[in-house]
Chain A
């Protein structure tokens, strides 16, 4: 009798759980819950073939689903309102989620604003891949060279791009020791297992996506809350020599892989903009400041075009007091931040080089293309 009653109650309880989950699913289906870009199954051409072509995506941040954006990727699975054309000699812009720029309208992105400044709307290809680092840019650069034969490249370096290049992972480019130096390795993803299929199916459930992407919910977080000792914060980068080694490898490999002279490669170095607004908002660095300074010095010495955005952001913020990102909910650049980067990139690419050499791009030539 007791067991029957208990089972009956459990049954009705489960029905209630299910009913509410269904209700939530229906509600969240019409809301802009984040739908991350699905990874392309073109393993050998990833991330040039970033996601399946013409894949819909939706971006929003946090539980309030703020800054919602929806869109469809192009023929190469990148975020652009036009298709990329093979062998079209574009300017390519490589970077991580900043260049991917899901949190902005396309016309606000670095690549769109740069194209606009160069007067040639579809001449700049944004190859942004969330989570990619310096090693990935070299891997992607080689694929882009063979596919598009770029006329110039803009590479956005953000904090973590050096240290994360040393982190191995399936389906990504990373650096491994090779004698005294480093070499690039690509670890292909394994074929689609049953687990992957199940995860994909679950990924289509809006409730699941809301929990996983918008709320960043994980059982680890729950258990971290239950632990008496707070999880120790990740150690701030203290590996300058290793990161400097990554810098040397990166600057050595990049021109050849891109098929471009260093003078046609513009490196933009982002900075911690929140620290400009309030020093206490500064984030813990992953790449050391020494390694960052080393990158700037070495790149300039080797003839790359380099713009450190830190003083640019600082001066502009002091003048206008306008923030460069989706402060305070998201450190990614907004239209203003992308605009600053685009202006710097344009300056680097159209300004004649030192020693009287011709600029990599002539503004009118770009427009004519």
Chain B
């Protein structure tokens, strides 16, 4: 079920919230939590009931492994705990490997060795990467003694909680369970409901208006016929459109998840913090998909040794982390290359930081505005180039787009510009993958959004800080009424072009 679909907005959400608050109002907290878990499982099963079994088996096995780890701790059996952890991790990774990577593996072997292996069609269960990673984090934290979970219902709710189940944020058990345990969660609080609705509306706006608005300019470039030579204008137009679409799509989804959760007094961690404002690639990763970055840092980079074993090992760890991060996003060489590029960027950044430490001239005390601007632009362009591999359906397609971006196909301008710009030394032809002046306008406006408009959490904070009136109950209800109209309008807009999936549902 999509957050932006009619069935979610007009049926699932109202029903789930109504029953939850009625149960909570009766102080039946466990029943309310169980209801949320049930509703979340229904939410997942609505897409494909047969994968509910996979989800439930995964929950049962990981919960059992968690219990076994607790038993090992209680009986001081560290060796056995290690064995339990390894077995559980391997089981999780095998499930992920089968559903997500088996076809990729077979295709790669066939490609290299010329074999003719075939596999039955394997459908990727939606959200498998997210619920697998969430549970791996739980197991590792349990092994380390950071968390103790012995009740199945809260654990099921933690894994399946519908706002984050399909596409994150990737959660830590330790940050969620206290919230499900406290009684104040099970109370209708107008303030939180209003903040949640505002977050949700902002996210829906990002998805329905901004991401879906610019999306038509992406496909013609990335899905152009192999024989068609993309011009400089077309290639950059399509890649910039995708860069913006992806950000507004995924951050919109994350805002909606945060908002939905806030309606029931549960705070999810932030996932985006204006990533395209980053002045270097390390900062970008502290601002983009923050919960995945945190996961990769805590459960991969640091266990590999992090930066504790010298420069060379640090670079190797960075590269391994990013390559696996790339592979996590999708089973394909384009994702591996995307991860590899980011690994390379991070290595260059670390090397540059090392040089700055050694040579003071490279590290002015206060970087100039121009210097900061250049740094933001260079970081942005690096990220944009990497997105080409992230979006392209094949390596060839990615190279064709890059070929256009570097001008190897010439600076062809749209035929309709010939009258106005005929004096320019450019070729004029029909540009099949160019959306005209409107595309320029979309890209310009959206770049303005990402570079100069406060992000969702900043907007909400500003509202909380300055809108004193919102402390009064009647203003809150009035605001809720207004937001309900906005959500309805956005839902209708979304319905008019057909509910489009969120990009990260594919991962």
Contacts and interface: CB of A to CB of B under 8 A. Distances in A.
Interface residues of A, number: 31
Contact of B477 (A9, A20, A214, A222): A9
Contacts of A20: 481-483, 485-486
A11 to B, nearest CB: 8
A322 B430 contact: yes
A25 B137 CA distance: 50
Contacts of A236: none
B485 A24 contact: yes
A15 B492 contact: no
B381 interface: no
Contacts of B5: 225
B485 A17 contact: yes
Contacts of B485: 16-17, 20-21, 24
Most buried by A among B473, B478, B483, B497: B478
Interface string A50-84: 00000000000011101000000000000000000
A15 to B, nearest CB: 5
A249 interface: no
A322 B11 CA distance: 45
Interface string B319-355: 0000000000000000000000000000000000000
B294 to A, nearest CB: 36
Nearest to B190: A9
A214 B478 contact: no
B176 to A, nearest CB: 30
A211 interface: yes
B484 interface: yes
B11 A226 contact: yes
Nearest to B491: A222
A62 B497 contact: yes
Contacts of B497: 62-63
A12 B477 CA distance: 6
A13 B430 contact: no
A217 B263 CA distance: 27
Interface string B472-505: 0111011111111110010011011101000000
Interface in B415-442: 415, 430, 432, 438
Interface in A15-67: 15-21, 24, 62-64, 66
Contacts of A321: 430, 432
B473 A9 contact: yes
B481 A15 contact: yes
Contacts of B496: 62-63, 214-217
A211 B478 contact: no
B396 interface: no
B363 to A, nearest CB: 47
Interface of A is mostly: helix
Given A225-B6, A226-B7, A320-B430, A215 B484 contact: no
Nearest to A214: B496
Contacts of B432: 321
Nearest to A222: B6
A17 B6 contact: no
Contacts of A21: 485
Contact size range, B? 20 to 34
A64 B432 CA distance: 22
Interface string B394-420: 000000000000000000000100000
Contacts of B481: 12-20
A16 B479 contact: yes
B478 A15 contact: yes
Interface string B8-30: 00110000000000000000000
A8 interface: yes
Interface in A196-238: 211, 214-217, 221-222, 225-226
Interface of B is mostly: helix
Nearest to B212: A63
A21 B499 CA distance: 24
Contacts of B479: 16
A231 to B, nearest CB: 13
A328 interface: yes
B492 A217 contact: yes
Interface string A285-326: 000000000000000000000000000000000001110000
A16 B197 CA distance: 14
Contacts of B10: 222, 226
B178 interface: no
B373 interface: no
A215 B495 contact: yes
Contacts of B477: 9-10, 12-13, 16
A4 B388 CA distance: 58
B216 interface: yes
A64 B441 CA distance: 13
Contact of A17 (B7, B415, B484): B484
Contacts of B495: 215, 217, 221-222, 225
B213 interface: yes
Nearest to B494: A63
Contacts of B7: 225-226
Contacts of A8: 474
A63 B493 contact: yes
Interface string A328-356: 10000000000000000000000000000
Nearest to B415: A322
Nearest to A16: B481
Contacts of A64: 213
A13 B480 CA distance: 6
A23 B10 CA distance: 23
A242 to B, nearest CB: 32
A21 B478 CA distance: 12
A13 B474 CA distance: 8
A62 B478 CA distance: 30
A14 B478 CA distance: 7
B25 to A, nearest CB: 11
A279 to B, nearest CB: 12
Contacts of A19: 478, 481-482
A21 B484 CA distance: 11
Contacts of A214: 496
A313 to B, nearest CB: 15
Contacts of B213: 64
30 contacts: A9-B474, A10-B477, A12-B474, A12-B477, A12-B478, A13-B481, A13-B484, A14-B481, A15-B478, A15-B481, A16-B479, A17-B481, A17-B484, A17-B485, A19-B481, A20-B482, A20-B485, A21-B485, A24-B489, A63-B493, A214-B496, A217-B495, A221-B6, A221-B495, A222-B495, A225-B5, A225-B6, A226-B10, A322-B415, A328-B216
Given A17-B481, A215-B492, 14 more contacts: A9-B473, A9-B477, A12-B473, A13-B478, A14-B481, A16-B478, A19-B481, A62-B496, A62-B497, A63-B493, A66-B438, A215-B493, A222-B10, A226-B10
Interface of B: 5-7, 10-11, 213, 216, 415, 430, 432, 438, 473-475, 477-486, 489, 492-493, 495-497, 499
The 9 tightest CB contacts between A and B, nearest first, are A16-B481, A225-B6, A16-B478, A12-B477, A20-B482, A20-B485, A13-B481, A215-B496, A16-B482
